[in-house]
Structure 1
Amino acid sequence: MTSQERDIASYKETVDELQKILTEAFYQRMFKYTIFRLSSKFNIKFDVQNGLRGFKVEDFISETIASFLKSDGRKWYKDDFPDFRKQFISALDSIIHKIIKKELQKSNLTWQILDNDKYEEKDSEYEDLLKECEHILESLNASDEELLLFEPYIINGMKRSDLEQHFGISAKELTNIKKRLDRKIPIIQKHLKEQRK
């Protein structure tokens, strides 16, 4: 599909949808998601109170919101993301990556972040495979919670107690989410094998 054929929302559609999704519940979910992504992608143990070199979680989210509000800003590609919330999460990932890369480059990639953990970004092959899995999950009508928890819960084997704390999801609901994801894993594996033939 060429850029001319892409289904890109108008500025008004994007702003209207942005206003619609920015509920307190969604904001809290993005707050937890940002902390998790800083940990899973960059190995950063984020200090919520003090932030990171002047950046707080709220700043990552605010920059993402602002990126859609500029007249020449981010676009909503409806063909890739029929649900604008997923476009927002994709944009938030991009903002996190851009800010952290910039800050680490300022420090010549030698700056120790917290607790003597050095910068370590997941490689692009891992990221590509994760995106493939997420696309397959979306095609299987996975819920937002399943998409959010797939990487920490299934791939990284994060403990339920930590997931409860990070994402504010009860142990009972985590069990139900894991059951649903476990049923989808064989389908994901099958799709990945077929794509690699």
Structure 2
Amino acid sequence: MEEAKTIASDELLMEQLQNRNWDEFWLRLMSRCFWILRKRYGVRWNNNELKEFSRDIISEVISKIFVEKERHWYIDSYPDFEKFIISAIDSHINNTLKKKKSETSIGDSEFILDQNEVEQNVQEIVIAQELRQQIYEELESVGAEDDELLIFECLADGIIKPDDIRTELGMSESDFHNGWRRFKRKRKVIQEKIAAYGY
């Protein structure tokens, strides 16, 4: 007989709402969504599409946990709330992408590309994507934190002004300043990778 699982009480859930810095927590959840979408599912949407999708996913999961009470926090399986909500987000991303895929027919106009244009640009696109991926992995390997990786993603998407990046990511001035300063220290990693590709 399967052992009954303990569901977190409303009081315990309220503690998570009241005693957590949600600005910082939201940024970590957004970073996690970005990572899951790019690394696990190979999504290549632009930064705005990634942000919109991630925000929707996080909002829906939070609503299912705190408002609709459809998603239960089994504290035996996940003693740590953050690990629980990340698992819930991971699952919701998977289900949402599967649903989107099943709803998208092959003949949808947005997926029809001009063959000549594809043939002319495919090599440049592949090189750019490979370079972007390698720089991302290099930054991770030298200890870049989530905010630094998000800054890099913005730069890679063509958002280059610091104020525009901060606005895009919804970061406070102090958080962005700290992340930008740490990111700039790692410029050598980026410069070496770009040089290796002959740019």
TM range (shorter): 0.5 to 0.7
Structure 1 pair 84–110 and aligned structure 2 pair: CA distance change class (3 A): farther
Amino acid at match of 1:20: N
Q: Pick the aligned partner of 1:56 from 33, 49, 53.
A: 53
Partner of 1:158: 137
Q: Which runs of 5+ in 2 are unaligned?
A: 112-117, 126-132, 152-178, 187-199
Partner of 1:194: none
CA RMSD of aligned residues (A): 3.9
Q: Given that residues 139 and 149 in structure 2 are in contact (C-alpha distance below 8 angstroms), is that contact kept between their aligned partners in structure 1? A: no
Deviation per CA, 1:68-94: give whole Å up to 9, x if none: 023441111111111101101001111
Instruction: Give the 3-state SS of the residue equivalent to 2:19 in structure 1.
Output: helix
d(CA) in 1 for partners of 2:99, 2:107: 13
Structure 1 pair 78–167 and aligned structure 2 pair: CA distance change class (3 A): farther
Q: Pick the aligned partner of 1:106 from 84, 87, 103.
A: 103
Q: Given that residues 38 and 44 in structure 2 are in contact (C-alpha distance below 8 angstroms), is that contact kept between their aligned partners in structure 1? A: yes
Give the TM-score normalised by structure 2: 0.53
Decide which structure has greater helix share: 2
d(CA) in 1 for partners of 2:26, 2:54: 11
Q: Give runs of aligned pairs for residues 28-177 of structure 1, distance below 5 A.
A: 28-49=27-48, 51=49, 55-108=52-105, 158-160=137-139, 163=144, 165-166=148-149, 170=182
Q: Given that residues 11 and 71 in structure 1 are in contact (C-alpha distance below 8 angstroms), is that contact kept between their aligned partners in structure 2? A: no
Structure 1 pair 38–57 and aligned structure 2 pair: CA distance change class (3 A): same
Q: CA deviation at 1:18?
A: 3.6
Q: Which runs of 5+ in 1 are unaligned?
A: 118-151, 175-197
State the identity %. 25
Give the TM-score normalised by structure 1: 0.53
Structure 1 pair 94–110 and aligned structure 2 pair: CA distance change class (3 A): farther
Instruction: Give the 3-state SS of the residue equivalent to 2:83 in structure 1.
Output: helix
d(CA) in 2 for partners of 1:14, 1:47: 34
State the structure with more CA Rg. 2
Q: Given that residues 33 and 167 in structure 1 are in contact (C-alpha distance below 8 angstroms), is that contact kept between their aligned partners in structure 2? A: no
d(CA) in 2 for partners of 1:25, 1:69: 19
Q: CA deviation at 1:59?
A: 0.8
Q: Given that residues 21 and 85 in structure 1 are in contact (C-alpha distance below 8 angstroms), is that contact kept between their aligned partners in structure 2? A: no
d(CA) in 1 for partners of 2:66, 2:3: 21
Structure 1 pair 109–92 and aligned structure 2 pair: CA distance change class (3 A): farther
Partner of 1:195: none
d(CA) in 2 for partners of 1:45, 1:57: 14
Q: CA deviation at 1:105?
A: 1.0
